[in-house]
Structure 1
Amino acid sequence: MLNNTFSQIAAHRSIRKYKDTPVDDEVILKIAEYAMNASSSGNMQCYSMIVTKDKKLRKELYPLHFNQEMVIEAPVLVTFCADFHRMRQWIEQNKAPLNFDNFMSFMIASIDATLVAQNFSLLAESLGLGICFMGTTLANAHLIGKALQCPDNVVPVVGFSLGYPDENPPVRKRLSLDGVMHFETYQDYSPSRIKEIYKEREELGMKRYREVPELKKMIEDNNVTSLAEVYTKLKYTRESHIGYSQNLLKYLEEQNFMHY
């Protein structure tokens, strides 16, 4: 039953250090061509891929991606955008109703973009390339979109660094399958089941964060005692996510995606 695809996916890891080796355009184009076979709502393919190699532009994007070193060190950044700009021009040329300027359309396009991004990443890894998805793409979509000159109805939603790996980090453990799989209907969790599902994540996660001096200091300075607090007090605070939400919603309105 198992084949090479299973092994490849099982070996996935985020790569943050890259060799200076350039990635040929022919390789990128071939990956993109096959990645486009991803499922797409109505086969509309309402996404765009922006490949950024120019070092000056990557330096401009560097602070927008929270100063993550791979933005500079990787030879390529790939940004996947929810894009109804192209299709809206086509339907207008054909004198059809000028739809797709609402939040539902943004969600449809975002899913399309994410599906093709996952295909792209798997294909890249199959050729020996490494990637690291960056959540900062959505968090700073309003700034990244301006830097990438995205027109109306185009919003960056997911992106990653791309290049040949210069590190071999261990594969990170995931939650157990029985902790996320439900059959027939959603089966809610008891308190004891929650503890069981997250027990190993808690132990490994805290060990990992305490091995990084600056993170260990942050944990100690903020009296953090659990991985749950690492996520909610240090990494993904309520204040930061409300701020990102406000920026994104405002940007969606500016980009003509909030008619309702």
Structure 2
Amino acid sequence: MLNYHRWLDRLQVLERKNRTSSIYLIGLMLVCFLLGAVSFNLWLSFAPEATPNSASGKRKLLQQLETQAQVLASRNLALNIADNANKEMQQMFSQQLSTQKALEKELAFYRSIMVTDADVEGVAIHGVELAQGLSPDQYQLRLILTQLQKHQVKVKTSTTVLLLGTQNDQPAELSLSKLIDKKLDFEFNYFQIMDNNFVLPSGFNLQRIMVKVKVAASRGVKGGEIEQVFNVPELLMGEKELRVILEQNSQVKDNSQ
């Protein structure tokens, strides 16, 4: 009987110990669960709101893409407006330059007419204009003669145009009348404009143009001869400036396209 009671007491002690340890184990599990929940909440608070692969991440990326597209469209619109304004300014500049050159020529023309005692012969060489044709040896020449204001009668003139330069590295001169097979004799009042196209011989390098105008004596007009020499590079300079401006305009258009 004594042994039985001893074993019974031992079993009760073991049962009490097991109950205490199970309570501790349950408590430990509750503490771990709470710690895990707190850690998960903390991770969510510091983690990014959405990953790129999530639905919300895709939506956010689409919104950013739409915003960038709107910004790009507005910048393209501003660029097109600036490009159109630049084209208009280039065209306006070209037109203003052409108008200015035309006014300068017209002003010089009328100034030469208003001269009273510049040439006793009654005729002045207003100017020579030279432009290169389609081929390197082809040229267009314009000669403008003006009559002074104090003379109201027609004047008779005989004009000689000499083309001065080199041919085969030797000084040479050509007569325009022989090249075009035409005499340059005029009878005019106030002004006379002569336009002629000519082709230089092969190997001829044109450098200067000499213009001689012989005025026939008549009533109220003292006869005589006037002479003036023009440098070809200076004559072609104005034509080149206009071509450069037109080429710049075409380059701006090509670049904008």
TM-based fold match above 0.5: no
TM-score w.r.t. structure 2 length? 0.20
Task: Give the structure, 1 or 2, with the largest relative contact order (CA under 8 Å, sep 6 or more).
Answer: 1
TM-score w.r.t. structure 1 length? 0.20
Point out the structure with max Rg over C-alpha: 2
Higher strand share: 2
